[in-house]
Structure 1
């Protein structure tokens, strides 16, 4: 069943409640809905986590946690899915987001080389920035929808399969 599979990978709620980066949420973490795992909370958590995974901002985990609290979806899943974009996967994912942005804005692809400097960053905001940000929003929205509906389909199928096995 999908629930049992997901629960195997989830950390202990007490460890998460006392995690130093989530202390800013204080008593909001006491809401039981943040820790329940059902179809509604799982699909919402996948949508939140995947959305913030594709948004190029610092503190993605905190934003995912805050959004999970607001929408009362599973907090551990939301925060964990943000790590789809990690230092290894970030360059190809964000480059694809840039390419998607150039398609959406109907702009030609600009060749650039990354440079870790403030002047390069400021210059890139005007050259590749708009396409990158639009592409990131499109990628984040599509990933969130795929996660939401994908988990819903998997969950429903696993429940249907469990019912069929039970009724035999």
Structure 2
């Protein structure tokens, strides 16, 4: 299965990579044909790597997934594009769920927030204490649960995306063969 002809013009050739002053030093690695072939395993692995690094790494997601794709010989465009699973729209919900998952896995008790009407003094005191903590202190408090949750989610969604892409690939292949066989009968 190959990409549509309109898509192929966006995929750089090895010659274009060698001519680019920013990517010329990477051309020996990026010029490998296995990184650009649209095969079931290459695309599924590329998407899985992109989803994994897109969820786990908050910055430099594309370079991290590209390096992993080169090392593991996955499809490079699929790896780079699938890092956008985490974007400004999905960032907050993903990190919130990861933090909550990390708390559950680590056995931390959920914070109990009393309603403002029932205990306004206690709530005000708690908010004042939280404001006095610096940014780094607050980050340190949520760091371990967040990293544990992100690691679990990145691994689970990466594996899930590999299986899903493989199943879709097999289903589309089966459907094409079924339609081709039906036309002959």
Indicate the TM-score class for this superposition, using the shorter chain for normalisation. 0.7 to 0.9
Q: Deviations over 1:71-97 (max 9, x none)?
A: 101000100111111122211111111
Task: Give the Å deviation of 1:56.
Answer: 3.4
Residue in 1 aligned with 2:32? Answer: 31
Distance in 2, matches of 1:106 and 1:11, equals 51
Counterpart contact for 1:60–1:82, Cα < 8 Å: yes
Distance in 1 of aligned mates of 2:179 and 2:102: 47
Distance 1:128 1:5, change over 3 A: same
Number of the residue aligned with 1:77: 78
Distance in 1 (CA, whole Å) between partners of 2:95 and 2:13 is: 31
The whole-number CA distance in structure 2 between the counterparts of 1:134 and 1:7 is 42
For the residues of structure 1 that align with 2:47 and 2:5, how far apart are their CA atoms? 14
Are 2:151 and 1:148 equivalent residues in the alignment? no
Secondary structure in structure 2 of the residue aligned to 1:47? helix
| Structure 2 residue ranges without an equivalent (≥5) | 114-125, 128-133
Distance 1:109 1:7, change over 3 A: farther
Contact 1:101 1:132 in 2 (8 A): yes
Partner SS for 1:14? coil
Change beyond 3 A, Cα 1:37–1:87 = same
The alignment covers a number of residue pairs equal to: 160
Residues of 1 paired with 2:9 and 2:96: CA distance? Answer: 32
Cα separation, partners in 2 of 1:24 and 1:96, compared to 1, 3 Å:
farther
Is there any run of 5+ residues in structure 1 with no aligned partner, and where? 114-118
> Which structure's CA Rg is the greater one?
2
- Residue aligning to 2:63: 62
CA contact (8 A) 2:3 2:38 kept: no
Distance 2:21 2:154 in 1: 27
Find the partner of 1:129 among 123, 126, 143: 143
Kindly indicate whether structure 1 or structure 2 has the higher relative contact order, using CA contacts under 8 Å at least 6 residues apart: 1
TM-score with structure 2 setting the length: 0.75
